[in-house]
Structure 1
Amino acid sequence: MGGSAMEWIVAQQNPLDSSPVESSQAAGSIPEIVIILIILLMIATVVALVTQRLRIPYVTGLVLAGLPITEVFSRRIGLDPSLVLNLFLPILIFEAAINTDISRLRSTFKPIALLAGPGSIVSSAIIAAIVKYGLGLNWIPALLIGIILANTDTVSMIAVFKEIRVPSRLSTIVEGETLFNDAAALVSYNLILVVYTTGSLTIVDGIKELLIVALGGGLVGAILGYLSLPIFTRLNDPLSSLLLTVALALGTFQIGQFLGVSGAVAVVIAGLIFGNLGLPRSSSASDRMSLLSFWEYAGFGVNTFIFLLIGIEINPIMLWKILPAILLVILAYQLGRILSVYLLLAGLRWFDRPIPMQWQHILVLGNIKGSLSMALAVAIPLSLTGRDFIIELVFGGVLFSLVIQGLALPSLVKRLNISPVSDAMQETGQLQIQLIAAKAAQEELDSLLKSGVLPKAIYEELWASYQARVAQSERVLRDLYNQYRAGQLKSDRSGLDTIRRQLLLAEKGAVRYALRKRIVPEDLVQPYIKDLDEKLLSLEDD
């Protein structure tokens, strides 16, 4: 497969390794590369306008736009696996991790762990078995296909969730699954390649290798994440803070890979630590917003190039020639997802809040493949028999999921109507937003007054204007709460239940902390925690 435009740029940055003639040729190619990048950006802009007008997923539009321009450029451009794994993937993982609330992740950890752990294993096994016996492949190629296509890319799902309101628990499960699913896929993929290169691997050695790679990656991420915190708190310049986070994301991945552990797991842990322990330490709300906005733009830009390059990489004519085999692969990964979701989540009710069946339908249809699947396929060793056939099978499955499932997902979410919004809920949400924003502005005013930036007279005037907004919002919210207590808003429990869940989780964390410090006896703590768990299970899904 061909390299990418970015790969050529890297290749041109070693003039000492080439002759003067080669150097001049390299210098002459730079404008062409810049022109290609500009054209790709213009195509992405047009796609954004068209998809907004047609109300279809942006990433689906990018893939479709990339299909007809494969042979347009004089240079061969495509999705380079090294670029994806070493640059794009750490950026996407870190951006998702710093925006993930650990408290919410903890409250939904059981379904996330089921889907990203046993779920991916079951799905990979089902896909591998169907592909092996249906297409007559050996176990190594079949297992690689299973691992690659069991991985889910939820960019399309998250994009739909931004337009259509869904319960926050479902959104957290989707984000958490893809966060840990990428890491699990990379670990399993590398393990299969170890089996391929060494010729054998016992079950005990395999488990030991998995634990070393996964736990070692978590340890590396935790160390680097915590080391970044004191540096971040001493940086008063937001631009320097941005550089620190970029170095943390990319450096953590490279250090993890260098040490022989999972770089993806390391980035996940480092991002969670920095996002939940580092960002709150920033003294300025504007600095925090600048940092989060930067990573939002970085994630959006990376996804734009990835999905456009996916479309350019795929050759529809080649896929048409092996259409029956691709249809079997599509059937295999859909069946693997169906069984892993419905069977595993059916047993969730025994130890956690059950997942509604409507949510499970969305999790199944949201089984969309993306950049990591294609990068792993292209990264398969050249010596593996049938490598090109495997790549074409994976590309066919990715194209189907991005186009067919990507287009069907928004209509399914709307049709299921999993989060109906009443007028009272709409009003409550708007008031909560106003209250949160006004309180945050008052806190910023206090900070400006203490720093001497703002005169007290202006401070008092501005503070009073925000206080009037706070008082009005609090009064209306109190009236709505009284109506709820009187039984007039029985269908609108979810907003208040969200607040109750936060309070109960805070109680649970405080009690467990007291137990760890040996402040309270364990025989009294366990019944109290059990009672808190029962109250949490009784709350409606948020």
Structure 2
Amino acid sequence: MDIVLVTTIIASLFLVIGAAEPLAARLRLPYSVILAVIGVLIGAGAIFFLRTDLTDALNPVAEAILGLPIRSNVFLYVFLPTLLFQATLGMNLRRMLDDWVPILVLAVVAVVVATLSVGYALSWASTLPLAACLLIGAIVSTTDPSAVVSIFRSISAPRRLARIIEGESLLNDAAAIALFGLFMGFVMLGVPDPSLGDALGRFPMLIVGGAFTGWLGARIAVWIMALFSRHELAQTSISVALPYLVYIGAEQSVGASGVIAVVAAGLTMNLTAPGRLPPQAWTNLRELWDVLAHWAGALIFILAALLIPRLLEEVVIADFLLVGVVIIAAIAARALILFGLLPLLTRLKLSPPVDRPYRVAILWGGLRGAVTLALALAVTESFRVPDGIQRVVGILATGFTLFTLLAQGTTLRWVIGRLGLDRLSAIDEALSRQVVAVALQTVREDVASTTENYELNHDTVRSEAKSFGERLETAVKMAEESADILDRDRITLGLIALAGRERDTILFRVRERTISARMAERVLSDADRMIEGARTQGRSGYQRAARRSTAYGRAFRIAVVLHRRLGLSAPLARMTADRFELLLSQHLILRDLGAFIDGRIRRIHGRRVAELLHELLSRRIEAGETALEGLRLQYPGYAEKLERRFIRRTALRIEEREYTVMREDGLIGAEVYMSLMQDLNARRAAAETRPRLDIALQRVALVRQFPLFADIEGRALKRLGRVLETRYVNVGEIVLRKDAPAKSVFFIASGAVELETAGQTWRLGRGEMFGQMAVLMQKSPRVEVRAIAPTTLLVLGEDRFRRLLGRSKALRKAVQASAEKRGIEPSGLFPVAKERG
């Protein structure tokens, strides 16, 4: 085939891709539907030109189009890794985890149910062997997110809905292709009725092997990319190689799922690379992958559509009936999951609720696309699959894909409109009216100032001012008409705006490099949760999300258990350092929000809302400072190191800005500028490294600050620091229950606790202890101890406490004072201690 002609055709396809997007926007149709229609028309036109004598001059072009090397391996090994890898890089994984149950149910359970539903329905309605029917079920069970997500974004549909669709589509590709590989093997081996247990039994190995291959490959790639921190093009090149190497390695060497390997590699890089790579390098890398995925997605769709006329050449009337069976079985299986299993999981409190309109949109948005066509093409290409099965698979997969694109895709926007998902809520509508009124007022003031400064024609100014004033009066009137719902909802609107401003501040600080990209992912997720919390549950939702941002999570508690039980301190040290940096970042960000409340929110929502937001912001700042102070007390000196790091990074950013201004003003040349920037980047690389937190050494330093241990010598103090266990307690958590066996004594390193007994309460703070009376008197405690602030406790077992009591006069005096305060005779305590000491 003439290489010039092939190159011309490929270049022309890029022109088609470029024209398809604005055409889709103009026709208000999904982008992928337009690509599919254009591809079908091109393929059908090429066949027509070859079969008619009227257009012999175009035969070379038609032959080149039909002779393009379009094979299933091209789709699966060239285009698919690009699409999967980019999708995982662009995910907000922490927000995705909020809906991980419905995503996994749709991505795995729904795929298996759809495969079985379509397979057994076809087996009942046709003479095909069961293995071939299940193969068809696996092919049509994977959805394509591109069309649906593009519609959601164009109409500002809820972000949660788009997030569920994206997560499902990414993971169900992996599940469907894994099932496809299983049943394809049965068909090629001639097994007509495979054992379902055997098929599903091999499924976990495909998943685990692929996941491990992808994780290992990504860890190695990120490590190498971190070594090349000054060479951005080298980092980008390594990222391009990664998905293809792990895909091929998993498929050819490990015998696992290449799709799972690519997904695991992308997720691992998404989580680890932002903390290891320079922020700008990570941003540029993701932008490059966005472009690559756009081209890959468009090419895979249009090239697959070129094959549709050929796949449908041998269609007969009976095939239409089988296509109908596939459509009904696939939609029924999806409906069963959405309206049966998901509500059941919600009632069992195993899944967050998914509203009914969301479920209807997800049901009708289950479009099939290029992956389904590529898998069908793989079947038609295999010489080991009987010809009759090849024909039916090609026709059924193609027919079902065309139905979803032409029937569901073209009506999806209408369905979303009927469900009301394309309309602003009453709160958002009210907000938009208020914003327009305030914005137009600001514009009028600025325009008046501008016309005065430039001495413009008075008649022109008067004419424009009149029309502008009419628009402003209309906007103000509409804003006043919405005042009846603004009393309670103004607070919600203000909280949404405040969280949005917080998000913008985070992004600005990331660009300024005063917050690391790794920490930015965490605080951005927290800001998104606060926006959604305020939008769905008002003030309580915002406050719940704000408390969650500073609370000790489940992963932290697991790290504590690993440290305490197994001596694995690395996870706890890393999470503690992350918490330090998170709290310090939040401290810096929240300080900037007060001016926004006074400058913008007060103008839109009024003084009362502004004062309430100031109060809520003050509580957040106070809670963050309390948590940060607790860590400062627990790990003296580490917060200072982080603050020094922040100051160094800020200074470097200001220095870089000055060099850039001088370069733009012509004060320095390109050579001097490059030399200065090389030196600055070297210093920045050193400043980016986070100081290491050594938990064991920090605990010894903390123990030294206790007055109770002041008279213990240095070596014994170090031993004490090693045997003391650290326990982190959140606000409201019960530390010691009434009548529970007394086995330990607790020393408060930071925070505060409240003791309650017989209707009386008292509080203890840093440097004090509790639990010692119950241990010494060998009685169950009669008090309940609850944390009233984020608290760090040092815990000492009963035997070690008794031995320590025998050595430390300061500790004995503290115990005596505590006993006398409670009316207990101290002399009855120490003989027991001396006997065991």
Question: Which category of TM-score, normalised to the shorter sequence, fits these structures?
Answer: 0.7 to 0.9
Q: 1:420 aligns with which of 406, 420, 424?
A: 424
Instruction: Provide the secondary structure at the position in 2 that maps to 1:302.
Output: helix
TM-superposed deviation, 1:498: 8.6
Aligned-residue Cα RMSD (Å) equals: 3.3
Q: Distance in 2 between matches of 1:244 and 1:490?
A: 42
Matched letter for residue 441 of structure 1: F
User: Where in structure 2 are the equivalents of 1:474-493 lying within 5 Å?
Assistant: none
**2:28 maps to what in 1?**
55
Paired with 1:306 and 1:113, the residues of 2 have a C-alpha distance of 26
Identify the match of residue 496 of structure 1 among 542, 546, 552.
542
* DSSP 3-state at the match of 1:368: coil
Give the AA of the match of 1:128.
G
Shift of 1:524: 10
1:213 paired with 2:280, answer no
Aligned counterparts, 1:320-331, within 5 A: 321=317, 322-331=319-328
Mapped contact 1:221–1:268 kept (Cα < 8 A): yes
Instruction: Report the CA distance shift for 1:440/1:117 in structure 2 as closer, same or farther (over 3 A).
Output: closer
State the 1:168 CA deviation. Answer: 3.2
Distance in 2 between the 1:505 and 1:128 partners? 48
Going from structure 1 to structure 2, the CA distance change for 1:122 and 1:283 (only over 3 Å counts) comes to same
Tell me, in whole angstroms, the C-alpha distance in 1 between the residues paired with 2:128 and 2:39. Answer: 31
Partner of 2:137: 146
Helix, strand or coil at the partner of 1:228: helix
Q: How far has the Cα of 1:502 moved from its partner?
A: 5.6
CA 1:145–1:513: 2 relative to 1, 3 Å: same
- Structure 1 counterpart of 2:259, one-letter code: A
User: TM-score normalized by structure 2?
Assistant: 0.51
Residues 247-290 of structure 1, C-alpha deviations (whole Å, 9 max, x = no match):
11111101111221111111111100101211243223x32221
> Residue 425 of structure 1 contacts residue 492 of structure 1 at CA under 8 Å; is this kept in 2?
no
- The whole-number CA distance in structure 1 between the counterparts of 2:731 and 2:498 is 37
What is aligned with 1:368? 367
CA contact (8 A) 1:226 1:274 kept: yes
Q: Give the distance between the partners of 1:523 and 1:438, measured in 2 at CA.
A: 31
Q: Are the structure 2 counterparts of residues 44 and 504 from structure 1 closer, same or farther at C-alpha, using a change threshold of 3 Å?
A: same
> How far apart are the structure 2 equivalents of 1:512 and 1:525?
18
Secondary structure in 1 matching 2:352: coil
* 1:441 is the counterpart of 2:508: yes
Deviation at 1:356, TM superposition (A): 1.2
Other-structure match for 1:515 = 561
SS of 2:553's equivalent in the other structure is: helix
Give 1:21-170 correspondences, 5 Å limit: 29-70=2-43, 71-72=45-46, 73-75=62-64, 76=66, 77=68, 79-170=70-161
Contact 1:377 1:391 in 2 (8 A): yes
Higher relative contact order (CA 8 A, sep 6+): 1
Q: For structure 1, which runs of at least 5 residues remain unmatched after alignment?
A: 1-25, 449-476, 529-542
Q: Distance in 2 between matches of 1:114 and 1:157?
A: 19
| 1:447-478 deviation line (CA, Å, top 9, x unaligned) | 69xxxxxxxxxxxxxxxxxxxxxxxxxxxx9x
The alpha-carbon deviation at position 391 of structure 1 amounts to 0.4
Distance in 2 (alpha carbons) for counterparts of 1:264 and 1:490: 36
Query: Using the alignment, how far apart are the partners of 1:166 and 1:301 within structure 2?
Result: 25
Match of 1:233 in 2: 226
Aligned to 1:355: 354
Kindly tell me: are residues 43 and 146 of structure 1, through their superposed partners in 2, closer, same or farther at Cα, counting changes over 3 Å? Answer: same
Q: 1:343 aligns with which of 333, 340, 343?
A: 340
Tell whether the 8 Å contact from 1:144 to 1:192 is kept in structure 2 after alignment.
yes
- State whether structure 2 residue 440 is matched by structure 1 residue 394: no
Per the alignment, do residues 102 and 389 of structure 1 end up closer, same or farther by CA in structure 2, a change over 3 Å counting? same
Distance in 2 separating the partners of 1:354 and 1:525:
28
TM-score in terms of structure 1 length: 0.78
The SS at the match of 1:100 is: coil
Question: What displacement does 1:209 show?
Answer: 2.1
Shift of 1:55: 1.6
Q: How far apart are 1:517 and its partner, in Å?
A: 2.8
Q: Distance in 1 between matches of 2:247 and 2:299?
A: 21
Matched residues in 1 for 2:732 and 2:221: separation?
36
Question: Within 2, Cα distance between the matches of 1:347 and 1:78?
Answer: 48
Q: Could you say if the C-alpha distance between residues 174 and 526 of structure 1 is closer, same or farther in structure 2, counting changes exceeding 3 Å? A: farther
Question: Which AA in structure 2 matches 1:384?
Answer: V
| Residues 90 and 267, structure 1, Cα contact 8 Å, conserved in 2 | yes
Q: Distance in 1 between matches of 2:33 and 2:180?
A: 26
* Separation of aligned partners in 2, 1:396 and 1:74: 25
- State the match for 1:469 in structure 2: none
Equivalent residues of 2:99, 2:352 under 8 A apart? no
The residue number in structure 1 matching 2:303 is 309
The answer to whether residue 385 in structure 2 is matched with residue 384 in structure 1 is: yes
Q: Larger C-alpha radius of gyration, 1 or 2? A: 2
* 2:247 aligned with 1:253: yes
Which has more strand, going by share of residues?
2
Is 272-281 or 489-498 further displaced after alignment? 489-498
How far did residue 331 of structure 1 move? 2.0
Judge conservation of contact 1:152–1:370 (CA < 8 Å) in 2. Answer: yes
Give, in whole Å, the separation in 1 of the partners of 2:137 and 2:82.
25
1:457 is matched with which residue? none
What percent of counterpart residues are identical?
A: 23
The residue that corresponds to 2:409 in the other structure is 406
Partner of 1:17: none
- Once the 2 structures are TM-superposed, how far is the Cα of residue 30 of structure 1 from its aligned partner? 0.9
In structure 2, C-alpha distance between the alignment counterparts of 1:338 and 1:234, rounded to whole Å: 49
User: Residue 431 of structure 1: CA displacement?
Assistant: 6.2
